[in-house]
Copies of this chain bind each other. A is one copy, B any other.
């Protein structure tokens, strides 16, 4: 999918300075780039790296001087670079055609140009959308609905009844729709609470390797459009995650958490049952949010239990000064006792 600098600029909304007819084939870092690779420089620090790169074409901020280079001007070079990368670089195929070893149950609908890899097992009544690729060893439970242009990597499991939108990417080892962790205790043992809901995943979601998203118990688990979940993230039953929220690796949501839109969660953060994150909430890595708590948008929180980052910093500073405070108390006691 080669493009000229001019074509690329038009597609991503940048302006060209220099040779607009220059043909670009890929993207790279300044150090690894060849002549036909696009690079970017988003800070003063990175300008010398760009200048000395073998690459000829650079995405850079207006006003940044890059002698001898063709420059795509953008006030958001990293974003522009990411968009250009999406246009220039094909994604490696996950499957090509429907492999004869794929086991496909009755009443499965395989849309035009959908691909299914070797040894995949597709349950009854599954729908697979156009151009969707399903990798080797994927197990798709009965009644799942998968939209268009999805990339289901090898060894993904969807339990029955999972619904997935368009352009969703699910990485290897992820398990979607397993039973939630719910029991009622009585007579000295735990009785399984029914886990009969489903998982619904919106368009443009990406789910990391070995992540787990449990099905709803009596309600459903819902991941809205544009959400990005990193590797080994856990989402409990009945959680709802709003549009374009981003959750870093190893974070975990207990049951029935409700996250708004554009939430940002750091790695290894944990959420007890029935937490609520409002739109735009920002939760630091390893933060722990107590059951039923609400986190407001815009004000970052940190620590366990979660408090505002500002408050955390203040408390932390005083903790470091505890030995000093104790010494001052001792001094006061000596003075007063005299």
Residue numbers of A with Cβ under 8 A of B are 26-29, 32, 76, 78-79, 81-83, 85-86, 89, 92, 101, 103, 117-119, 121, 135-137, 139, 141-142, 153-155, 157, 159-160, 169, 171-173, 175, 178-179, 181, 183-186, 188-194, 196, 204, 206, 208-210, 212, 214, 218-219, 226, 228, 230-232, 234, 236, 244, 246, 248-250, 252, 254, 266-268, 270, 272, 285-286, 288, 303-305, 311, 314-316, 318-323, 325-326, 328-329, 332-333, 335-336
Contacts and interface: CB of A to CB of B under 8 A. Distances in A.
Contacts of A78: 184, 193
Given A27-B218, A175-B209, 4 more contacts: A171-B175, A183-B228, A214-B231, A336-B336
Given A155-B155, A190-B244, A304-B286, A181 B249 contact: yes
A85 B171 contact: no
Contacts of A160: 92
26 contacts: A76-B184, A79-B185, A82-B183, A82-B191, A83-B184, A83-B186, A85-B192, A118-B121, A136-B139, A155-B155, A155-B157, A155-B175, A169-B179, A173-B175, A178-B209, A181-B208, A181-B231, A190-B226, A190-B246, A210-B232, A249-B252, A250-B250, A268-B268, A315-B320, A322-B325, A325-B329
A332 B328 CA distance: 10
Contacts of A121: 117-119, 136-137, 154
Nearest to A38: B194
A118 B140 CA distance: 12
Nearest to A32: B218
A336 B337 CA distance: 10
Contacts of A82: 183-184, 191-194
A26 B28 CA distance: 53
Contacts of A252: 232, 249-250, 267-268
B230 A232 contact: no
9 closest Cβ pairs, A-B complex = A29-B218, A318-B322, A175-B209, A85-B194, A79-B184, A157-B172, A79-B186, A82-B184, A139-B154
